[in-house]
A and B are shown apart, each in its own frame.
Chain A
């Protein structure tokens, strides 16, 4: 009934090629977009800066990593370090008085450059070995950042982000930072939606399935592996700058440790590898499940007088985080995006279930 396909007749090629051929999907996407644009008017600050803003930023990062892992099939355990490079490069440039628009791009290029150097390891190895190489990158980058006072910012190792403007709008109010993050996330999402349909995207898919086979078919693995690392790290660097400017507002080395890398990895695993929708769901679950669980436990403890020891209460969200990752891998390896696809298939013919193939 919903997501109706009946009566859909494409008479022009561009109709058939559009991103969302189903009218209902189009409507749904536009509704969500309209809601996100109107959010500063509808929601109070807790929801805006406490939930929507981090959700948009982390989703952007997860999309960047998904390009590398979901599309090109290359493992990366050091994506947090990639973001850190971008954040530090961007913030330093902004502090020198470079406009944010240029600093963002420069941060991206910096990340892309260093990320690709480490990514070059992928030319020689894959699987677990590549995972280890990127893990080593995480530690080396962490060390370099925190041990250069010139990079990390003196004895207190904190870099304050000065007041900046983006396209002429000062990023000081909540709604300005929110729209900034929304804009970046929108651009990255659009890019990801389209990249699948380009020759680049198809080359990455070939690479993922079997790199030797791709090479035999004339897809240069050398070129596309490096390009995958380049593009993904570029997105990571840009998002790193956005994260620093719009959300953290003061960068210190411990914000880009292995925990961030694993968090983003968990987001795309739970969301769905190789899906554009997945990171949106995955980010929401990984970021907010601990918060919701924590608050839920708090209110349960308050209303029912249930007295869990504080250690147990505090560790339950971490336990749940681990269980979520394990549970999804065991029972739904394609993640929340697949669950949504199942739901969509169900609703496609609802209530005439017998029509389902």
Chain B
């Protein structure tokens, strides 16, 4: 390829054009800017688009109603593809443009951003991702999971099994099938402690990520003749695990998973075949909650929805709305304390960490975030798939929080002493 005058000029123009757009300036001043940099393309594809749609629809709802505390929410959505250079660029760009919050929705990215967020005092939301010990607000003041971590979820599942067995798990056999990554291995420590405490036998089976072939795992599970099965993974690993469990004839009503199970997974497995399987619900699913109805009426009906209407009210969509609502509640409280800002990380942090008994009009369990507890109280519930939707089988409850917190403290202490 040789260079002539035309391609030279075109090339120069293209380079110049790239520098032109970099600095977008917004004229309005009363805004709160969030950086919503998430992984749409690599690992977290199964959840991101629905989660993100819920978040954006909720922000649209808030802005339609004139904002919160006099502020409008501006959410910059980008894709970081689970790739650290891209995530860090998005983070730095957001910071320069005045973003006070970032929601990366990715464990590796969250881990790499922890030291930066703590230094720069930017609030990082690590819902269902990131370090589980970030629930300890004293060690991680600017890292806010605002949701039940995996240790709590495991605790909830075991507690529900215990209820099914009328209060005692002694002598029972529980199988834990998990993806063989740090994320999948996380609940192991809690389960081991609980096995000791409750007297059940714990068998663990790791499968190779991402888990598209588990045909050699489940025969072993079946032959172990377990009383209960917990499967722990994400995306394709979950549907394959469920399919294999069905093929091996395991009773579905004794199988449970974490928050990572949604209606679209059920579509893949087959809606009827999966009847009976349980999951942890961190917030209400479906279109019943008032917030979702409001979004349908005020955002989606006006054609301002961020994605296909069919996805509204699915499990992950509602998680997005849940996190959006918590963020906005943080802004409301911050604005109530200091109405004129300035809008900074600490300003929003103050609001986020004083959320008390917030339910977003019935969407979430009563959530209280304090300076010590960033998990929000550790409440969740167990829901069961009935062939068409997830039906709650318990009320909101918290369980085994003592065990969970001793694990959180153990890890956050090491971070405090050696990490920095």
Contact = CB atoms under 8 A, between A and B. Distances in A.
A and B touch in the complex (CB under 8 A): yes
Contacts of A249: 112, 115-116
Contacts of A342: 1-3
A287 B96 contact: no
Contacts of B419: 160, 162
Interface string B1-29: 11110001000000000100110100000
B411 to A, nearest CB: 6
B33 interface: no
A49 B96 CA distance: 12
Interface in B8-60: 8, 18, 21-22, 24, 40-42, 49, 52-53
B271 interface: no
A269 B328 CA distance: 46
Interface stretch (A30-38, A125-133, A294-302): A294-302
Contact of A314 (B22, B40, B95, B182): B40
B265 interface: no
Given A296-B18, A346-B3, A50 B88 contact: yes
A25 interface: no
A51 B111 contact: no
Contact of A346 (B8, B182, B188): B8
B52 A310 contact: yes
A298 B77 contact: yes
Contacts of B411: 155-156
A129 B287 CA distance: 55
Chain A interface residue bracket vs B = 35 or more
Contacts of B415: 160
B188 A252 contact: no
A46 interface: yes
B131 A315 contact: no
A160 B3 contact: no
A290 interface: yes
Contacts of B115: 160, 249-250
Interface stretch (B79-87, B346-354, B375-383): B79-87
B85 A54 contact: yes
Interface residues of B, number: 55
A339 B1 CA distance: 7
A299 B23 CA distance: 10
Interface string A310-351: 110111011000000000000110000011001100100000
Interface in B292-338: 306-307
A95 interface: yes
Given A156-B411, A318-B81, A255 B108 contact: yes
Contacts of B189: 155
Contacts of A281: none
B114 interface: yes
A291 interface: yes
A298 B78 contact: yes
A41 to B, nearest CB: 17
A158 B77 contact: no
B182 A252 contact: yes
Contacts of A332: 1
Contacts of B418: 95, 160, 162
Nearest to B307: A310
A87 B203 CA distance: 34
Interface of A: 44-46, 49-51, 54, 58, 95, 146-147, 152, 154-158, 160, 162-163, 247-250, 252-255, 259, 287, 290-292, 294-296, 298-299, 302, 309-311, 313-315, 317-318, 331-332, 338-339, 342-343, 346
7 contacts: A152-B182, A154-B414, A247-B88, A248-B84, A250-B111, A299-B21, A332-B1
